[in-house]
Amino acid sequence: MTEEDADSGRPALADERGVESVYQPAEDSDLLARTADERVTEGDRVLDVGTGSGYVAAVVAEAGAEAVGVDLSPLACREAADNGVPVVRGDLVAPFRDAAFDLVAFNPPYLPTPAEAEWDDWMEHALSGGEDGRRLVDPFLESVGRVLAPGGEALLLVSSLTAPDAVRAYARERGLASEVLATEKHPYEELVVLRFSES
């Protein structure tokens, strides 16, 4: 599945008000998918956390990985499944057994969002990173090591708005070594893919 395929398919699922409610592939999804695609080999077990439409999982599956998506949103799970991605409804890595994956990829909601600007629907859950942009980043870093196979790695996409150095420091305190794998500049931010492994 290419980004063009994702964009030219049927419309995204909407809620009862007709508002789009599943995050669709954008520049951040594409950067994470390309970076993950370069790192997987045939037969690797890959988890796409917060899979949304299933785009990242579909890209690595085309490279021969055994990919599964996970998302808390039932609408995202339905859309990912409709796009041919095996998907589990759940919170981050909680549904999966220890040491299950060679690679875990996550494009979290990373936009810092003041509490007064929050709203309550699935798209907000997919976009809002909370006050510091790390509402789901920190819990992911606290839990991802459990599901990594020996020698496994986690790829996390963050923004310069999310203080990547602080994210790396937080991970280091939890026994995860990190490095920057890819960056991409955009008008108001720089997108960064960080790699984490157990140190």
Expressed in angstroms, the distance from the first to the final Cα of the chain is: 34
In the block, tokens 């970076």 appear at: 35
Question: Which domains can be identified in the chain, with CATH numbers?
Answer: 3-198 (3.40.50.150)
pLDDT value for 161: 85
Q: What is the pLDDT of residue 116?
A: 57
Residue 10 confidence class, pLDDT cut points 50, 70, 90? very low
Name the residue with tokens 């690797």: 44
- Beta carbons within 8 Å of 73's beta carbon, 6+ residues apart: 21, 22, 122, 125, 126
DSSP state of 14: B
pTM score, whole prediction: 0.83
For the chain, percent of residues with pLDDT exceeding 70: 77
pLDDT score for 121? 53
pLDDT at 31 > cutoff 70? yes
Other beta carbons less than 10 A from residue 3's beta carbon: 17
pLDDT digits (tens, 9 = 90+) for 101-148: 999 999 998 676 666 555 555 456 555 555 676 778 999 999 999 999
User: Would you say 164 and 194 are in contact if contact means Cβ atoms under 8 Å apart?
Assistant: yes
| Mean pLDDT across 20-37 | 85
